[in-house]
Amino acid sequence: MDLSVTSDTFRLAQAFTISRGSKTAAEVLTVRVSNGAHQGWGECVPYARYGETLDTVRAQILTAQGLDRAALQLALPAGAARNAVDCALWDLEAKAAGARAWQLAGLPTPTAQITAYTLSLDTPENMRAAAAANAHRPLLKIKLGTPDDMPRLEAVRAGAPQARIIVDANEGWSAEVYSDLAPHLLRQGVEMVEQPLPAGADDMLAEIARPLPVCADESCHDRASLPGLRGKYDMVNIKLDKTGGLTEALGLRDAARAMGFDVMVGCMIGSSLAMAPATLLAQGATVTDLDAPLLLSEDRETPLIYDRTGVHPPSAALWG
| pTM summary value | 0.96
Q: Which residues contact 124 (CB under 8 A, 6 or more apart)?
A: 148, 151, 152, 154, 155
Task: Tell me if 12 sits within 8 A of 18, measured CB to CB.
Answer: no
pLDDT at position 19 is 67
pLDDT values of the chain reduced to their tens digit, one per residue, 320 residues: 899 999 999 999 998 887 677 889 999 999 999 999 999 999 999 999 999 999 999 999 999 999 999 999 999 999 999 999 999 999 999 999 999 999 999 999 999 999 999 998 889 999 999 999 999 999 999 988 887 899 999 999 999 999 999 999 999 999 999 999 999 999 999 999 999 999 999 999 999 989 999 999 999 999 999 999 999 999 999 999 999 999 999 999 999 999 999 999 999 999 999 999 999 999 999 999 999 999 999 999 999 999 999 999 999 999 99
Q: How far apart are CA 296 and CA 223, in angstroms?
A: 31
- Sheet with 190-194, edge to edge strand ranges: 117-119, 139-143, 164-168, 190-194, 214-216, 235-238, 262-265, 287-288
pLDDT at position 145 is 84
pLDDT at position 146 is 81
